[in-house]
Every structure is written in structure tokens, then in C-alpha cells.
Amino acid sequence: MKKIVGIFFVIIMLASTLVPINFVSGQQKTISKRVSLYDLGILQLVAHDLYHVDRVTEIDAENQKLDLSTVLDQGEENIKNGGEPRNMENIMVFTVAKDFGKMYLDLVDKGLSPENAHEITVEKYLNEVKKAYEDTFDESFPKAANESEEEDDDLTGDLALRTVHDLLPGKIIVNGVLTPVLDQSLLGKMLGKKDLKQLSSPLDGQFDPEFRHMTVFDPHTNSFIVIDLLEKDSSFAQQFNIDFSFESFLDELKDGHYDKHDKVMEVIRAEMIEAQPVKISTDHLLR
């Protein structure tokens, strides 16, 4: 009987990844946005590519450009493992990061110069960013700015991209087994193509409970600590004196969508316009 109940529970969880509907008191309320785990991995990689803010030193080590530096500027050994260590923070972002690293190294192995391999890999990356953007935000990917602006110290874009954490699922199916997404057994592992098609948690202005009490590595203390991801995102706005609160952005998502005129959407859109490399147009890239 226990085995039957367990199988039934997994079936229910599988079904829930395919039916993006919120229910309140047994009645359908709204169809909230959900995206594939692949798109979610891409969007997390975008956030890492644009920003790397040290909360202690308050220094941003990234350049706010979509150049895949979080993977390709980390040395060959790190490239093999998905670039920066933070790209291993969950299996979704690690899968896409390692795939891009492998693509680059394979091109070099085939005889391409590192420069050409870099350009081809970044073009592929931009194509996937475009797809993930359109799948998630339900609007066309904006064109790049005509001229590249210098990096500034405004971190509003970082705060807005943190709202993607709303979509993070607490549990996913890995090779047919329901597994906590932060389970240590998944460290260094990758999702297969089938599992990457699963849907995220619904967009609802809330975080799954697993991310309210999560263990992360703190490089400053060289030890593992427990954090509340929602609290970390909220305090980010306060620490860097951002004009918007994280809660105000989440409130806009309670209807289940990034709407065109939401402030959070306006910030993300502007971020994508400025972050694209001017010399590379994504118009010619195939979906």
C-alpha cells in the first residue's frame, strides 16, 4: 500500500509540473505563469552574467553585459565545470552553464581559435536568452541599444532579476525521482533534456518554503551558513538604497504575470536593452 501511495504522489507531482493553474478554495482563480526549468536556468545564468555583488565589500565584480563572462572568463578548468562556483548553486543553472562551457571547449578542440569559439558560444547564449525572455515575459526580446553605455553602480536591475527566484521550485523530478532541488546529492549533476522540460513553480509573488531556509557556502567565513533567500533579496534593496523595494516588485507578480507596465518589467526590459553587446545583433539568430 505504501508503495502505491508513493507512486501516486509522484504522479501527482508530475502532473503539477504540466498544469500551470492556481486554485483557491477549490476553484480556479488564475493561470499563473510557469516556465520550463531550462528557461529558468538561463534566466538565473543571465543574473550571474550581469551582476556579482559582494554583500560585504559592496563591490560588483561583473560588467552588466550579456557576454557569458560568468562561464567563459573563468579559466579552462572552471569552464569545464560551468564557470564560477556560484553557477553550481542549483542543478538548473549548473546544467545550462556547463553546457555552454562544453560547447566552447569543444569548438576549441575542433581547431577554432578561442576568439571565434567565444563569439559562436556567446551568439548561441544570446539566442537562448532571447527565447527564455520571450517565454517568461510574454513580449518580444528588445533590440540592443545603439551605443553601449558605461557600467554604472545602479543595482536596480539586479533587484528586478531577483524576482525570478519566485519561479524556483522546491522539488523537481530527477530521473523519475521526486527530489528537493537543493538536495546535496544533486551537486555537480545535470538535468537531462526531458527533465529540463518540467515547469517551474507558479509566479505568485511568493518563494517556495525550501528557499526560506537554505544552506549556502559563505566564502568570507569559509563555512556553510543558513539563509532566508527572501530576506536576502529584500535586504539587498535596503543595503544599496534602491528606489524600489523587493516587496513592491513581488506585489506586482501576485497576479501571476510580468505585465508590460509593471515597474519590475520596465526595469528588466531596460536592463536587456543595455546589456546586449552592441556589435552582435540577435535578429539573425534562429529560435
Considering only residues 136 and 219, tell me which one the structure prediction assigns the higher pLDDT: 136
pLDDT in tens, 240-271: 999 999 999 999 999 999 999 999 999 999 99
Determine the pLDDT at residue 153.
75
Determine the pLDDT at residue 23.
34
Residue 94 within any structural domain of the chain: yes
pLDDT band at 280 (very low <50, low <70, confident <90, very high): very low
Residue 282 within any structural domain of the chain: no
| Mean pLDDT for all residues in the chain | 87
Range of the domain at 241: 34-275
Determine the pLDDT at residue 283.
45
Q: Say whether pLDDT at 202 is over 70.
A: yes
Q: Say whether pLDDT at 206 is over 80.
A: yes
Please, what sign has the CA dihedral across residues 36, 248, 258, 125?
Answer: negative
pLDDT band at 224 (very low <50, low <70, confident <90, very high): confident
DSSP string for 223-249: EEEEE-HHHHHHHHHHHTT-SS-HHHH
Domains held by the chain: number: 1
Q: Say whether pLDDT at 231 is over 60.
A: yes
Q: Say if residues 44 and 132 touch (Cβ distance below 8 Å).
A: no
Q: Say whether pLDDT at 143 is over 70.
A: yes
Q: Which of 184-188, 194-198, 254-258, 282-286 has the lowest mean pLDDT?
A: 282-286
Residue 13 within any structural domain of the chain: no
The model carries a pTM of 0.86
Determine the pLDDT at residue 287.
39
Output the nine-digit C-alpha cell for 212. Answer: 526560506
Determine the pLDDT at residue 194.
96
Q: Say whether pLDDT at 203 is over 90.
A: yes
Residue 198 within any structural domain of the chain: yes
Q: How far is CA 283 from the centre of its chain?
A: 23
pLDDT band at 13 (very low <50, low <70, confident <90, very high): very low
pLDDT in tens, 21-71: 433 333 344 689 999 999 999 999 999 999 999 999 999 999 999 999 999
Residues with Cβ within 8 Å of 286's Cβ and at least 6 positions away in sequence, in order, are: 127
Determine the pLDDT at residue 6.
47
Q: Which helix (H) or strand (E) holds 29?
A: strand 27-30
* Residues above pLDDT 90, as percent of the chain: 77
Q: Say whether pLDDT at 8 is over 70.
A: no
* Residues above pLDDT 70, as percent of the chain: 84
Residues with Cβ within 8 Å of 188's Cβ and at least 6 positions away in sequence, in order, are: 81, 88, 94
Q: Say whether pLDDT at 114 is over 70.
A: yes
Residue 133 within any structural domain of the chain: yes
Residue 284 within any structural domain of the chain: no
Residue 242 within any structural domain of the chain: yes
